[in-house]
C-alpha cells in the first residue's frame, strides 16, 4: 500500500493508501469514529466504521487520545458536498499513545503557550504562520537570485558593533578581548560587493534590546542586501519590488494558511508600487498635526508609525532622517545634516519592516565620522579600507523577517512569528 501525504490526497481518490499522522481531534457516535488527523502537509478527516474494521483496530480507536501518533490505512473518498477528501479507514495502528495533552481547547494565556512553545508549534494557527514564514524566506531567495544577488554568509561573532553599542551582546573571546554577537551582517557584506557587485546575507542577528514591545526580539532573522553603484533612490525601488514580489508569492501560495489565520487579504492585494515617500521632517510635521508630541530629531515610536500609515493603502518610506540620530555608516546629503536613508513602514499598524541607506563611500569622511563617534578605529580599519581600493557609491537595506511575517499573517506580536522566540524575559524552551 502506498504511503501518501494529506496534501496529495486528491490524487488518490478511490485508492487504498497509508497515511501516518497525529490525531488533533476526534469524536465518536457509537459505531463510528471521526478522527481529525494532520500530517504536517495538511488536515484530513478519517472515518472509522466499527463494522468495517477488525476488533483490534476498533479497540485501538477507543483508546485514542489527543496528539497520539497513528498510521492509518484506508480508501480516499471525496466529501459529498465540499472540495475536501476523507479517509475511509480500514486499519489503524497507534505508533505512540499520547499522554494527556496540556494544550486544550480552552483559552490559554500567552505565557503558558510560550512555555509550551515546543508543543504549541503544532496548533493550526502556529502551523500556518510557519508555513507563511517559509514562503517569505523562499521568495526572498527567489527574488534576489533572479536579480543577480550572490549569498555571502556574514559572521555572527564580531569584534565591532554595526548598529550602535547600546544593544550589544558581549562575551569574552579567549585572549583576544571582547566579542559581540552580530546585530546585522551589513558591514561584512559591504566588503563582498567589491567582489560580486550584488550580495545578500540571511541569518540570525542579536540585539540586547531592553524594549518589551510586540515588535522586539533579542534574536531575530535579518536579510541584508547590498549593491555597488546603487544610490538612495534606486535602493528604495529595490525594496519596493522585493516586498511586492513577496506579497504576491504569499497570496498565491498560502491561501489556505491565510484563511486559517483569518487574515483579511484585501489590503495586501491592493499593494503595488510606488510606495508612499516622505522625508523624516515631513513625517514629523504630519504626526504633530495628528496630535503626536514627536520632535524634530526624534525617532518614530510604534504609535507614530501606526498613525503615519493609517490612511495609506501602501507602505511608506520615511526617508532622509536627521543624520545625528542615524548610524555612522550612512551617507549624508550635501548639507551634511541629513542621512540618505529610509525606514519602510508597513500598513495596518505593523511598523518598520526595513531599514536601509546609501553608505558613506569617502575614506576621509568616514574616518572623521568614526572618530567623532569614538568608535574603536582598529576594529573599523578593514571597513575603512574598502573606501581606499576602488570605492564606489553603494547602498543596501535589512529586512526584519519576523516583522514581515507578522504583517503578512496579521499577527500583532512577533513572538509568534519565530519558532522559538528570545526576548528579555524569555529564553526557554
Binding site for ligand 4AD (CB under 6 A): 162-163, 183-184, 186, 207, 209, 216-217, 220, 222, 224, 352-356, 396-398, 400, 402-403, 414
Q: Which of ligand 4AD, Mg ion, none does residue 222 bind (CB under 5 to 8 Å by kind)?
A: ligand 4AD
- How many whole angstroms separate alpha carbon 98 and alpha carbon 58? 17
Q: Which is nearer to ligand 4AD, 45 or 391 (CB)?
A: 391
Tell me the closest approach of the beta carbon of residue 84 to Mg ion, in angstroms: 44
Q: Which of ligand 4AD, Mg ion, none does residue 39 bind (CB under 5 to 8 Å by kind)?
A: none
Q: Which of ligand 4AD, Mg ion, none does residue 220 bind (CB under 5 to 8 Å by kind)?
A: ligand 4AD
- Beta strand extents in 41-164 (DSSP E only): 43-49, 69-78, 85-96, 150-151, 157-158
- How many whole angstroms separate alpha carbon 423 and alpha carbon 407? 19
Tell me the closest approach of the beta carbon of residue 389 to ligand 4AD, in angstroms: 22
- How many whole angstroms separate alpha carbon 208 and alpha carbon 325? 19
Q: Which is nearer to ligand 4AD, 68 or 183 (CB)?
A: 183
The residue among 64, 31, 65 whose CA lies nearest residue 48 is 31
Helix (H, G, I), strand (E, B) or coil at 210: coil
Tell me the closest approach of the beta carbon of residue 181 to ligand 4AD, in angstroms: 13
Q: What are phi and psi of 14, to 5 degrees?
A: 85, -5
Q: Which is nearer to Mg ion, 140 or 345 (CB)?
A: 345
> Which residue matches cell numbers 480552552?
106
Q: What are phi and psi of 152, to 5 degrees?
A: -120, 115
Q: Which of Mg ion, ligand 4AD, none does residue 139 bind (CB under 5 to 8 Å by kind)?
A: none
- How many whole angstroms separate alpha carbon 317 and alpha carbon 232? 12
Q: Which is nearer to ligand 4AD, 17 or 162 (CB)?
A: 162
Tell me the closest approach of the beta carbon of residue 130 to ligand 4AD, in angstroms: 17
Q: Which is nearer to Mg ion, 355 or 406 (CB)?
A: 355
Residues found near Mg ion in the complex (CB under 5 A): 355
Q: Which is nearer to ligand 4AD, 240 or 402 (CB)?
A: 402
CB atoms within 10 A of CB 169: 14
The residue among 19, 16, 57, 51 whose CA lies nearest residue 32 is 51
Tell me the closest approach of the beta carbon of residue 421 to Mg ion, in angstroms: 20
Tell me the closest approach of the beta carbon of residue 401 to ligand 4AD, in angstroms: 8
Helix (H) or strand (E) holding 226: strand 219-228
Amino acid at each position: 500500500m502506498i504511503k501518501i501525504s494529506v496534501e496529495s490526497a486528491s490524487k488518490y481518490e478511490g485508492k487504498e493508501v497509508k497515511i501516518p499522522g497525529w490525531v488533533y481531534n476526534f469524536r465518536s457516535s457509537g459505531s463510528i469514529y471521526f478522527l481529525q488527523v494532520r500530517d504536517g502537509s495538511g488536515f484530513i478527516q478519517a472515518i472509522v466504521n466499527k463494522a468495517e474494521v477488525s476488533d483490534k483496530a476498533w479497540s485501538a480507536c477507543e483508546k485514542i487520545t489527543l496528539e497520539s501518533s497513528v498510521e492509518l490505512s484506508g480508501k480516499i473518498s471525496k466529501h459529498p458536498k465540499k472540495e475536501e477528501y476523507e479517509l475511509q479507514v480500514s486499519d489503524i495502528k497507534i505508533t505512540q499513545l499520547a499522554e494527556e495533552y496540556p494544550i486544550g481547547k480552552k483559552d490559554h494565556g500567552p505565557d503558558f503557550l510560550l512555555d509550551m512553545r515546543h508543543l504549541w508549534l503544532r496548533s493550526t494557527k502556529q502551523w500556518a504562520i510557519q508555513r507563511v514564514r517559509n514562503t517569505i524566506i523562499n521568495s526572498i531567495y527567489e527574488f534576489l537570485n533572479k536579480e543577480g544577488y550572490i549569498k555571502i554568509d556574514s559572521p555572527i561573532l564580531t569584534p565591532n558593533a554595526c548598529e550602535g553599542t547600546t544593544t550589544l551582546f558581549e562575551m569574552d573571546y579567549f585572549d583576544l578581548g571582547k566579542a559581540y554577537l552580530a546585530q546585522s551582517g551589513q558591514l561584512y557584506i559591504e566588503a563582498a560587493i567589491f567582489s560580486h557587485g550584488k550580495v545578500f546575507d540571511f541569518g540570525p542577528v542579536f540585539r540586547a534590546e531592553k524594549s518589551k514591545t510586540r515588535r522586539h526580539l533579542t534574536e531575530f532573522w535579518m536579510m541584508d542586501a547590498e549593491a555597488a553603484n546603487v544610490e538612495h533612490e534606486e535602493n528604495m525601488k529595490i525594496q519596493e519590488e522585493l516586498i511586492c514580489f513577496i506579497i504576491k508569492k504569499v497570496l498565491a501560495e498560502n491561501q489556505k494558511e491565510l484563511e486559517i489565520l483569518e487574515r483579511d487579504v484585501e489590503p495586501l492585494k491592493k499593494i503595488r508600487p510606488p510606495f508612499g515617500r516622505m522625508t523624516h521632517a515631513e513625517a514629523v510635521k504630519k504626526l504633530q498635526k495628528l496630535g503626536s508630541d514627536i520632535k524634530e530629531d526624534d525617532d518614530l515610536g510604534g504609535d507614530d508609525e501606526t498613525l503615519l500609515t493609517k490612511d495609506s493603502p501602501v507602505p511608506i518610506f520615511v526617508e532622509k532622517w536627521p543624520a545625528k540620530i542615524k548610524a555612522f555608516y550612512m551617507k549624508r546629503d550635501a548639507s551634511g545634516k541629513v542621512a540618505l536613508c529610509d525606514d519602510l513602514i508597513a500598513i495596518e499598524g505593523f511598523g518598520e519592516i526595513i531599514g536601509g541607506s546609501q553608505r558613506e563611500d569617502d575614506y576621509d569622511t568616514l574616518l572623521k565620522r568614526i572618530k567623532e563617534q569614538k568608535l574603536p578605529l582598529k576594529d573599523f580599519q578593514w571597513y575603512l579600507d574598502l573606501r581606499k581600493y576602488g570605492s564606489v557609491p553603494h547602498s543596501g537595506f535589512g529586512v526584519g523577517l519576523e516583522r514581515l511575517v507578522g504583517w503578512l499573517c496579521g499577527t500583532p506580536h512577533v513572538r509568534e512569528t519565530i519558532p522559538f522566540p528570545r526576548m528579555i524575559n524569555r529564553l526557554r524552551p
